[in-house]
Amino acid sequence: MANTELLPDRRAAVLESQREFYIVTCGLPARVRPEFARIEFTVGSVGAITMPAQLAALVKAHILTERNGRIGPIVSHPRSKRWTFLVCPDIPGDIALFAELFRHNVSVVPIGGEVALPSPQFDSMLRYREWVHKPSDGYRPAGTDVVNAIRCCVSPMRQ
């Protein structure tokens, strides 16, 4: 039997184990999508903000210098050079805010949107998704705090 024939069963077990970690330890409403061999969640109780990696690195550094200096989970999408911050879903549905963020290539994933999470071993081989900051508990920053950090990082006074 070739190694590739063992992969689907092993992959399913590894994905399920990682999903359980995301749910139990990290408080993420994760599920396995077997047709894509990936783990994801639907935005609702957890929010997400996606932006270019270059801006995201500045935002991460800014957050680390703030009052508690704690960042939440951040997913990197190496191929598209974008990062997704997992946040508390407290961002108001304000069109002006979304337009402001859009000008900087930042998007707030809407309620009901799906966010793919890094899947152990398989994603890292293909470089689809990786953790910039892997969760170790249920902490997520307020979405509004991440938006404020974005504003500070794109401010004309900073450039």
Of 47, 34, 46, nearest in space to 8 by CA = 34
Buried b (16+ CB within 10 A) or exposed e, 114-134: ebbbbbeebbeeeebbeebbe
Residue 112's region, left for phi above 0, alpha for psi from -120 to 50, else beta, is left
- Report residues of the chain scoring pLDDT below 50: 1-6
DSSP tag of 135: -
Beta bridge partners of 33: 38
| Per-domain boundaries in the chain | 3-158
Q: What is the pLDDT of residue 14?
A: 86
Q: Residue 47's beta-bridge partner residues?
A: 87
pLDDT score of 69: 83
The continuous run of DSSP H or E covering 65 comes out as helix 53-65
In this predicted structure, what is the pLDDT of residue 67?
73
Could you tell me the CA-to-CA distances from 39 to 18, 25, 90, 116, 141 in Å, in that order?
8, 15, 24, 6, 22
**Given this model, what pLDDT does residue 30 score?**
97
Residue 87 DSSP symbol: E
Q: CA-CA distance, 121 to 129, in Å (whole number)?
A: 10
